[in-house]
Structure 1
Amino acid sequence: MKSLRCFCVCSLLLLKVSTGFGDLRRPENVSMDSLNTRYVLRWDWPHETAINQTVTFTAQYILEYQSRKANYEQYWTSVCVNVREHYCDFSGAELHYNGLFLLRVQANTSQQSSSWVQIRFCPDEQAALGPPSSVKLSPVKGDLEIIITDPLSSTNQSMKTLLNDNMGYLIQYWRRSEEPQKAKVLETKNNLVMLTELDRQTWYCVRVQSRDVFNNKSSVFSDTQCTHTEGQMPYWETFLYVLIGLLLFFLLLYFCFYKMFTLLKNTFYPAIQLPDHIQELLFSESEKPQLLSPEYPVSVCVPLVLVRTELDAVAVNEESNAGEQDSSTHSQHSSGDSGIYSTEEDSSHRSTTHTDLQMSSQKHREKLHDGTLLELCA
């Protein structure tokens, strides 16, 4: 009986000792939280540990084809070592988007380590695709213009380059008064899309979803954006524009005609006028020169302008000549000459004086001091 009791006590002690110094329990619910190229390995640790023991975790990865080698343990690469958090960020590990990897994590204490928990990870198949990084909506006349920016990787690289141009977009648009379930759908691979055939002066809402056509993956929708389309130009505004255009056209036409008229007027009717006496000669019928006909005698009148002093001198000369003639006549009569000689001499003298007077009037055509104008006719 005593030996049986001793065996039972020893068995219980050995069971307690084996439980206290056995393997540490493994992390649970290990999964990869990935979006585009942001990879975060997460796990749970709901277990209790011994007193004064801190549990840490270590996470590693390896390419799947390397795990088939005999000494594959040397190819494992540690990303997180003895971290207390229940996650490990693999974004900086440069896991190729089209590669196939094995990831594992274990729990550690100062005395024990748990066994590894391993998962398989293929980014292009398992990583979630993010929505467009930005969507800009703007009205253009009666249409809506949508500018879509590609989702970006952890290194700010377009996901379209990683997906080998297999990425497209699904656009939903609807009137703001309606429900999104009644939205119209448009699929495209372009980053610039124009929505046409929309109602004027109406509010529309738009949201965009990224899609991986090859792997049949879709992102969540982007934030909803709403704007209103532009309306048709009012009739009064159209009439105003037409009126302004016509006004400008007639002003330009008037300016051209005015310039042409001014040019013609300055050419044929210059501003500088000819002197009056030249215009009278050019345009007066009475002042036009005429040829004298030898068959019909014409009386030619020549204007004679004499200064009063010269006229007085001529008169004095005539009087003196007349006095001399009288004295000579008297002397001739007294000396007994014939009267016929005296008469002939007097007439010849008078004709000579008259001829000299005409010649002097033609040579000296001047104005009188008092403005008197004499006209002599020959």
Structure 2
Amino acid sequence: MKHFLTWSPVIVQGETVRYSVEFQGEYERVYANESWIPSSECSLITATECNITEDISATVAYALRVRAQLGASRSQWGTLQGFFNRITTSLTPPVLKVIADGYHLLVELEDMGPAFQFRVLYWKKGQERRMQVKVVKEVSSVAHLDTMEAGADYCVKAQTYVEVINRGSIFSQTQCVRAQGDTSMWLVTALMSCAGFAVAALTLPFLTWKTSKIFQYSCCPVAVLPDTLKVSEPSPQLTLRGSEEAEQCDPMVVVMPSEEVLRLWIQETL
């Protein structure tokens, strides 16, 4: 969306002619007594073109004029016939290249600047009714569109679009590419992928349980005491049971004099 005003040169042998550009928008024409504003980049320049992109930043009708100057001499203003509105800009379709990288459908678009977007349409050949749309806003590298079926043909076309003027170009010529491989190989790949997912779904719970056990034993191990430190349970009290009655103790207490105790001890000793 860059706009340039160009004009025919004024040629004076041995002299350098300079040019100045002015513009007039809708506001200046209606509310500012038809005043003119000098271009910010094109005052007393030697080139015969002027980048007026910043000067005509609004989507309104602009009048443009330019004049030549040599020393103190100035020409009359040369005025653009009619008005220019950037909404009338004729956009061209983008230059694109469609690439089949294995099973990946890629598109490489021409970088036309930050103001441009691209509407990319792509479809499997023979299935035009299932056409898909992808909007590419930044053209910094190759854009990925879709994953293709093996051996199938895919077609792509694109349109240039500028949001600030809500205007788009016609679509580019359709380009088609074929995915590598054949259908059987694609089916084998799909089956292997499904089998891989199934195995992962079955083994994942076991691996999760095993991992939790490892972390449990590593962080909070169970202490096992050796047998020598274990306290055995007390043995049951033995009770003698028989036909004979247990000897009964005499609960009576007899106080004996010391002479009697000595006499009994002597008798036992002898």
TM-score norm. by structure 2 comes to: 0.49
Q: Which has the larger radius of gyration?
A: 1
More helix by share: 1
TM-score norm. by structure 1 comes to: 0.38
